[in-house]
Amino acid sequence: MISSKSIRVFAPATVANVACGFDVLGFAIHGLGDYVTARFSDVSGLSIESVTGDDGRLPRDPKKNTAGLAALALMKKTGMKDGVGIALSIEKKMPLGSGLGSSAASSAAAVVAVNELLGKPFSLQDLLPFAVEGEIAASGTAHADNVAAALFGGFILVKTHNPPDVISLHTPPKLFCTIIHPSIEIQTRNSRLILKKEVQLEKAVTQWGNLGALIAGLYTEDYDLIGRSLHDEIVEPVRSMLIPGFAEMKQAAMEAGALGCSISGSGPSLFVLSTSEEIATKAGKEMGKVLKEIGLEFDVHISKINTEGASVVDNL
Ligand code: HSE
């Protein structure tokens, strides 16, 4: 008799890179993200029984689906007996190809749900390498900035990727994040291909100065220092060419009083950090005006930093 247990998990959308921390910094937000439900099934191995919110675009084959691959990596490590079956249902509650860590949210939710269903053989920290397997499928590289933020919440720093060594950073309480998502799609894989493989020493020095200062600013809750550190000398100048109205939107956000603004992950969304909801709202409104002028549809989302990360919402 198969257990009727069913675990539903939410994992949040995430902002990766955070301007100066390409592939090493990330944070989670509220309100956008994915739900994954795991239950035992009489079909042996892993199956994906439903996906909603993706307009039928995501693979239903678990070996090609990011959540599926992440769950399979976990199941393999447990040495599960042949014949045991697990079925996943995925609810996408965020846009695909938006730069908000859509594949990471699915992978993070899937590993937490399957781990819970199996009686928690792994700690939350131990789940990270499994979730990274999903990212490899989505973008071709094992970057952990989105998945780590989706799993653990708050700000995270990826010290090394393989094996993942991730540090949870302090989250200052006053920070608000504005996301503006122009209605175009950018695939992470493609927006990595356009990046230069070499970095000028002078730019690298500026970048690691900013990265260190940003982390110091997070710990000391020095909002002015955070603002002065939110600059990207290396990746933003290249990727921003793919985002219509980028420079004007960034200027509008800064004029609204934001601490800083850059591309969220691989884009096309932009993130803005501010010290109040009022500034965050104004920044979103002013950036929206830029896109309206260009004739591009968009969504604006305002959130505090989500310090919780992936969490079980139903355990039935
Ligand atoms: N750090 C990754 C990149 C995140 O910028 O390519 C992808 O969302």
Residue 238 forms part of a structural domain? yes
| Cα 187 to middle of ligand 1, angstroms | 10
CA 193 to CA 305: how far, in whole Å? 30
Would you say the CB of residue 265 lies under 6 angstroms from ligand 1? yes
Would you say the CB of residue 17 lies under 6 angstroms from ligand 1? yes
Q: Are residues 162 and 21 part of one domain?
A: yes
Would you say the CB of residue 23 lies under 6 angstroms from ligand 1? yes
Q: Are residues 265 and 159 part of one domain?
A: no
Q: Are residues 241 and 183 part of one domain?
A: yes
Residue 113 forms part of a structural domain? yes
For 262, the domain range is 176-304
- End-to-end Cα distance, the chain: 17
Would you say the CB of residue 188 lies under 6 angstroms from ligand 1? yes
Task: Return the residue whose CA atom lies nearest to atom 6 of ligand 1.
Answer: 266
Q: Are residues 143 and 38 part of one domain?
A: yes
Domain finish residue from 113, 143, 170: 170
* Predicted structure pTM score: 0.95
Q: Quick one: how far is CA 52 from the chain centroid?
A: 19
| Cα 88 to middle of ligand 1, angstroms | 26
In eight-state DSSP terms, residue 21 is -
CATH of the domain at 204: 3.30.70.890
Q: Are residues 20 and 157 part of one domain?
A: yes
The helix (H) or strand (E) run that includes residue 158 is strand 155-160
Residue 278 forms part of a structural domain? yes
Q: Are residues 151 and 196 part of one domain?
A: no
Q: Which ligand 1 atom sits closest to the C-alpha of 145?
A: 1
Q: Are residues 186 and 148 part of one domain?
A: no
| Cα 100 to middle of ligand 1, angstroms | 9
268 cis-preceded (ω within 30 degrees of 0): yes
Per the annotation, the verdict on 188 as an active-site residue is: yes
pLDDT of residue 143: 84
CATH of the domain at 80: 3.30.230.10
Q: Are residues 136 and 109 part of one domain?
A: yes
| Cα 266 to middle of ligand 1, angstroms | 5
What b/e string do you get for 57-93 counting C-beta neighbours within 10 Å, with b at 16 or more? ebeeebeebbbbbbbbbbbeeeebeeeeebbbbbbbb
Domain finish residue from 120, 143, 170: 170
**CA proximity to 16, closest of 92, 96, 101:** 101
Residue 288 forms part of a structural domain? yes
Note whether 187 and 268 are within 8 A (CB): no
Q: Are residues 181 and 155 part of one domain?
A: no
* Residue at 174: amino acid letter: K
Would you say the CB of residue 98 lies under 6 angstroms from ligand 1? no
pLDDT of residue 187: 87
Residue 196 forms part of a structural domain? yes
Q: Which ligand 1 atom sits closest to the C-alpha of 265?
A: 8
Would you say the CB of residue 145 lies under 6 angstroms from ligand 1? yes
Q: Are residues 98 and 209 part of one domain?
A: no
**CA proximity to 286, closest of 249, 313, 233, 314:** 249
Residue 314 forms part of a structural domain? no
Q: Are residues 130 and 214 part of one domain?
A: no
Show the low-confidence residues of the chain (pLDDT under 50). none
**CA proximity to 261, closest of 229, 295, 288, 285:** 229
How many domains is the chain partitioned into structurally? 2
Residue 191 forms part of a structural domain? yes
Residue 1 forms part of a structural domain? no
State pLDDT tens for residues 158-214: 999 888 899 999 999 999 999 999 999 998 888 999 999 999 999 999 999 999 999
Domain finish residue from 105, 137, 170: 170
Task: Return the residue whose CA atom lies nearest to atom 1 of ligand 1.
Answer: 23
Q: Are residues 180 and 113 part of one domain?
A: no
Cα angle for residues 31, 35, 37 (degrees, 5° grid): 160
pLDDT of residue 79: 80
